[in-house]
Amino acid sequence: MSGITYLSREDGDMVATMLDWADGNNLPELTLHQSCIGDDGPPIWEGFPKDKETLLKLDHLILVEQNLYDIPNEIACMVNLKEIYLIDNSIFDIPNELLELPNLEHLDLSENYDLELTEYQIKKIEELQDKGCQILYEE
């Protein structure tokens, strides 16, 4: 399977690992989503932050059609994430840490047709859905 291989940093710096992963996958820099400019609603930012402070504050992550194959376990450092959109990538595996984010309200993994979830992950998704979290994925 092709894709970017990343390694957890030996120094244990989760944020630096996430930034390295983003660079390695050539993720676009965080920018205001064009369809929201001039909208009365809150701004919607698309892409990935390039600095530690923004990464730690981010509450919405939109990475649609970025040809991603995986998500690092170190996503656990992004504790403010409420909404995550990873639509139409090539993700085949997600870390348990993604489903354990404390503020998660919406996770969209649609159109990741090779995604295989473990029994633990399916159970965790059901628990989150019972609590009102919306999770979309191909079964």
Domains defined for the chain, CATH in brackets: 14-136 (3.80.10)
What is the pTM assigned to this prediction?
A: 0.86
Helix (H) or strand (E) holding 17: helix 14-24
From residue 14, give the alpha-carbon distance in Å to each of 31, 70, 72, 80, 105: 23, 16, 9, 15, 22
Residues 6+ apart with CB under 8 A from 131: none
Task: Give residue 8's pLDDT.
Answer: 52
CA distance 102 to 13: 20
Q: Which of 21, 44, 48 is nearest to 33 (CA)?
A: 44
Q: Do residues 67 and 88 touch, judged by C-beta distance below 8 A? A: no
Q: What is the pLDDT along the chain (139 residues), one digit of tens a residue?
A: 344 444 554 556 999 999 999 999 999 999 986 555 455 666 778 999 999 999 999 999 999 999 999 999 999 999 999 999 999 999 999 999 999 999 999 999 999 999 999 999 999 999 999 999 999 998 7
How many CB atoms neighbour CB 7 within 10 A?
10
Instruction: Say how far residue 114 (Cα) sits from the centre of its chain.
Output: 16
SS3 66: coil
Phi-psi region of 88 (alpha: psi -120 to 50; beta: other; left: phi over 0): left
